[in-house]
Structure 1
Amino acid sequence: MNAAGLLHLLQFASPALPVGGYSYSQGLEAALEEGMVHDAVSARAWIGRGLHDIMAQWDAPLFWRLLKAFAAHDHAAVALWSECFLASRDTAEFRAETVQMGYSLTRLLAELGVAGAGVLGEEAPLPAAFACAVDGLGIPHEEALLALLFTWVENQVLVCVKSVPLGQVAGQRLLLSLRPEIEAAARTARALEDGALSNWAPGLSMLSMRHEVQHGRLYRS
């Protein structure tokens, strides 16, 4: 991986990227409210399960397909997998999250002059916008996939640091301990055939629905 690709990846995987990722917990705040996550052990179990059951089985494989579609200039495939991802967001909060962040990243790419942003529609989900950035900036695909997974894990850990609450050192220890799970999720995402993809997570969907009426929310999902 050359220096330019690495620096571009660091920039677009950074929590400082102005797309609003810090304002979403992706169902974790509801799990905290229900007492399902309450300490470092339960936080690790929650994040690890999300990596294995959701990210590795659906979000990351779709992102991998979007990367290949952009690289092949296959606009039909970009539209197909973007629509599949949007259709999988089965609550209003989850759909609003990916549409808002995708829109913010698409606008940022256009303002920065990154090639390919014009392919994205008005409701491009976040994975499509990130795949567009990867293609336009020449970032290697395997590293981009790991970055997507790491960014998701990092956001979950930060929610736990703020809301369990965990200490900063405990949060970093948790993040470091999840490296094998991130690598395993990336391997799974690259290997899955189309017919094996699954976003079956009814418990998370129910938590998201409860979060829409939860009192005293800090996060938008």
Structure 2
Amino acid sequence: MQASALLHLLQFASPALPIGAYSYSQGLEAALESGAVRDAASARHWIAEHLAGVVARWEAPLCWRLMQAFEQQDFDSVRRWSERFIASRDTAEFRAETIQMGYSLTKLLGELGVADGALMTMLQSEPEVALPTAYACAVAALRIPREQALLAMLFAWAENQVLVCVKSVPLGQVAGQRLLLSLRAELEAAAVTAQTLQDDEMGNWTPGLSLLSMRHEVQYSRLYRS
């Protein structure tokens, strides 16, 4: 991997990227409220199950396909997978999350001038842009290897979940880093799954998570937007 590609990847997978990722918990805050997550052990179980059952089987393989489509400038496939991802957001919060961050990343890419004309024109022509779509565009535009970009996407997701736990369980900083380190095998397995699943094997059937998200929409006290 070339140094320039690695530096680009570190920048666009960073939690410091100004797209608002820190303000979402993806249902974890509702799990904390319900008592399903209450300590380091239950936090690890929640994150690992969410990673294996949802992210590795839907979000990551879909992002993998979007990266391939952008790389080949197959914009019909970009639109198809982007539409499917948005349609899969089955609560108001989950849908608003990906649209808001997708919009913010699209705007950032335009302001930084990192995407070429064809890629940026395609991205900006869409009425709604999901976050995986904007991320895949950045990966293709900056010529970041897909395998490393996929791992970075998975790590960034896990890191954000751990940070929610550090703030809200609460866990200590060292406990949070220990938790993140312990997820290495699960993250590697998720990357393999995302690259090998066939289209008809993908899915995100998680009614329990959807119910928690809907409860979060009316939760009395909350720090996060999802």
Q: Structure 2 length as normaliser, TM-score?
A: 0.97
Structure 1 residue ranges, 4+ long, deviating more than 3 angstroms after superposition: none
Alignment of 1:188 onto 2:193: yes
Alignment of 1:157 onto 2:162: yes
C-alpha displacement of 1:123:
1.0
Q: Counterpart of 1:9?
A: 9
Cα distance in 2 for partners of 1:72, 1:177 equals 36
Whether the 8 Å contact between 1:110 and 1:118 is mirrored in structure 2 is: no
Segments of structure 1 that go 5 or more residues without pairing to the other structure are none
C-alpha displacement of 1:118:
2.1
Deviations 1:175-216 (A, max 9, x none): 000010000000000000000001100000000000000011
Whether the 8 Å contact between 1:103 and 1:122 is mirrored in structure 2 is: no
Letter of the aligned partner of 1:26 in structure 2? Q
Deviations 1:28-72 (A, max 9, x none): 000000000000000000000011000010000000000000011
How do 1:193-204 residues align onto structure 2 when only pairs under 5 Å count? 193-204=198-209
Cα distance in 1 for partners of 2:48, 2:187 equals 9
Cα distance in 1 for partners of 2:63, 2:122 equals 16
Letter of the aligned partner of 1:168 in structure 2? Q
Segments of structure 2 that go 5 or more residues without pairing to the other structure are none
Letter of the aligned partner of 1:118 in structure 2? T
C-alpha displacement of 1:117:
2.2
Q: Counterpart of 2:211?
A: 206
Cα distance in 2 for partners of 1:118, 1:102 equals 15
Alignment of 1:117 onto 2:117: no
Cα distance in 1 for partners of 2:97, 2:138 equals 19
Q: Counterpart of 1:36?
A: 36
C-alpha displacement of 1:27:
0.1
Cα distance in 1 for partners of 2:29, 2:223 equals 8
Q: CA RMSD in A?
A: 0.5
Aligned length: 221
